[in-house]
Amino acid sequence: MIKFENLVKKFGDRTILKGISFEVEKGDILFILGTSGTGKSVLLKNIVGLLTPTSGNIWIDGEEVSQYTEEQYLPIRKKCGMVFQHPALFDSLSIFENVAFGLRRHYKLNEDEITKRVKECLSLVNLNDIESKLPQEISYGMQKRVSLARTVAVGPQVLLFDEPTTGLDPVTTNVVNHLILDLSRKLNTTSVVVSHDMHCALEIADKILVLDKGQIVEQGTPEEIRNSQVELVVGFMQEVENHV
């Protein structure tokens, strides 16, 4: 579904991504881990065309997109749904209108169809009977789930998550992680999750990729990552064991 081949991204004389290559199979959940400033979010922005690579190739669903223009990228973006660190809901719109926003923009649906789709998506993230509320009337964790419902409403084939559990307590973190797993399986979407949470990655990822200073230092299944001898990964694993 997604393939990076020798991807380089520079900002001036700083090289953020130094020849990254990996693949994500359709329907898989890939976690990208690493310390702050290693290029995790830059990698995500290259997938949706918010950044253009300096060199290298990106394939999405069989199309090589690395040098697409803004206009060429539009159909690709429709295949991708992005869930940001913060819920980024429209404060002045009800929960219903927030979730319906993309549907009204991209599809010609009547009100009954929109209502049905909004209720379905809120139900997928275990939220019911909150459609008439405003974002500030619900908890931060619920706002995160609403933003997830809004993202899946337009039917993306790829879900991209940028630090989805930042600022959440452990219980809500667990809820959001299992939602990512449930949605990926139920909707058969391909999910790429940028995170610093090895514990969550080991629990729900099909594959884990560890970045350090713009390079992949380790990648594999959760089992392979558990047995890694790479220093940074060993450090992450000790962190996990200390929290158990």
pLDDT tens string 54-101: 999 999 999 999 989 989 998 898 889 888 888 889 999 999 999 999
CATH number, residue 196: 3.40.50.300
Query: Would you say residue 54 lies in a domain?
Result: yes
Query: Would you say residue 67 lies in a domain?
Result: yes
Number of domains in the chain: 1
Q: Cα–Cα distance between 83 and 162 in angstroms, integer?
A: 6
Query: Would you say residue 96 lies in a domain?
Result: no
- What does the pLDDT read at residue 176? 85
- What does the pLDDT read at residue 122? 94
Query: What confidence tens digit (pLDDT) does each residue in 25-50 have?
Result: 999 999 999 887 788 889 999 998 89
3-state secondary structure of 127: coil
Query: What confidence tens digit (pLDDT) does each residue in 12-30 have?
Result: 999 999 999 999 999 999 9
Q: Cα–Cα distance between 223 and 158 in angstroms, integer?
A: 24
- What does the pLDDT read at residue 35? 80
- What does the pLDDT read at residue 171? 84
* pLDDT above 60 (res 244): no
Range of the domain at 183: 2-88+157-243
CA-closest candidate to residue 209, choices 43, 66, 53: 43
Query: Would you say residue 70 lies in a domain?
Result: yes
CA-closest candidate to residue 117, choices 102, 130, 135: 102
CA-closest candidate to residue 155, choices 130, 192, 187: 187
Query: Would you say residue 17 lies in a domain?
Result: yes
Strand spans (E) along 35-157 = 55-60, 63-64, 80-83
Query: What confidence tens digit (pLDDT) does each residue in 155-214 have?
Result: 899 999 998 888 788 888 888 888 889 888 988 999 999 988 888 899 999 999 999 999
Strand spans (E) along 99-206 = 158-162, 190-194
Query: What confidence tens digit (pLDDT) does each residue in 127-161 have?
Result: 989 999 999 999 988 998 999 999 999 889 999 99
Query: Would you say residue 113 lies in a domain?
Result: no
Query: Would you say residue 147 lies in a domain?
Result: no
Query: What confidence tens digit (pLDDT) does each residue in 203-224 have?
Result: 999 999 999 999 999 999 999 9
Query: What confidence tens digit (pLDDT) does each residue in 97-114 have?
Result: 999 998 998 888 999 999
Query: Would you say residue 228 lies in a domain?
Result: yes
pTM equals 0.89
